[in-house]
Amino acid sequence: MANITNTTGTIQSSGSVASPSNPRDVICARHLKKSFRNGGVSIDVLTDIHLDLKAGETVAIVGASGIGKSTLLHILGTLERPDRGTLLFQGEDIFRYDDMKLAKFRNESIGFVFQFHHLLPEFSALENAMMPALINGMSKQNAAEAAETILLKVGLKERLKYRVGKLSGGEQQRVALARALVLKPKVLLADEPTGNLDKGNSDQVHELLLELNQEFTMTLVIVTHNMELSSQMSRQVTIVDGRLKEIT
């Protein structure tokens, strides 16, 4: 059985406590807290989260449903703001940004892959993968070239012009992965990325995630119940009583 280290300081691959803003860290989270209200009752999901993530690091967040895994991922990806705490991205406190600047930062610097692909069914694989580049102001030609390059890397050379509704579940997830990586973000966040796939397609997506992590030296954080996938990450963490704990 895996051991869970009860650490109140910053969790790192070495197990040591880091300085509050190590410039080598891509992400440095301190004292993150998040609560939700249910029927007039405040429920603390995250109470005091500390986490450092380095360039190219791979981390799996595991554990039972309802412990706050996805909430933490959403805060790391700036989709939600914490009630308290700081999130430094390469030393800059990004929750000081206004919503417009934060959205631009998110589009350029963070890629997302979810269990449900959130693709646009009326568009082709190429058009879906182009979207972040177009939103970022890239020309249509350059966006198409960037999207085609990454779609070829994920093995969809013969599916570029297919509408996503004509693609298999595994192919759709690869389109979602290409869309997440078209701007070559420094961080890729994945929430149960293979939860709806059979084992064959799951294994292919696992291999792709690890290969692309190595190629782009991007930080990879995955929320997963898949222990085979989590065991391939350099670190495994869980959440106990609202705090992050390293599994050793």
Q: CA end-to-end span of the chain, whole Å?
A: 10
**Taking a C-beta distance cutoff of 8 angstroms, is the pair 218, 188 a contact?**
yes
Average pLDDT over residues 195-202: 75
**Taking a C-beta distance cutoff of 8 angstroms, is the pair 120, 164 a contact?**
yes
Q: Which of 55, 48, 43 is nearest to 86 (CA)?
A: 48
pLDDT recorded at residue 17: 33
Say if residue 94's pLDDT is above 70.
Answer: yes
Alpha helix ranges (H) inside 48-139? 69-76, 99-109, 125-135
**Taking a C-beta distance cutoff of 8 angstroms, is the pair 5, 12 a contact?**
no
Over pLDDT 70: what percentage of the chain? 90
- Strands 58-61, 219-223: parallel, antiparallel or unpaired by DSSP? parallel
Instruction: Give residue 3's pLDDT band: very low, low, confident or very high (50, 70, 90).
Output: low
Cα dihedral 9, 10, 11, 16 sign: negative
Q: Which two tokens stand for residue 129?
A: 């993968």
Over pLDDT 90: what percentage of the chain? 51
Three-state SS for 222? strand
Say if residue 27's pLDDT is above 50.
Answer: yes
pLDDT recorded at residue 238: 93
| Cα 143 to Cα 151: distance, rounded to the nearest angstrom | 12
pLDDT recorded at residue 99: 92
Q: pTM for this one?
A: 0.84
Average pLDDT over residues 218-245: 90
| Higher pLDDT pick, 128 / 216 | 128
| 15-19, 75-79, 197-201, 236-240, range with the lowest pLDDT | 15-19
Say if residue 212's pLDDT is above 70.
Answer: yes
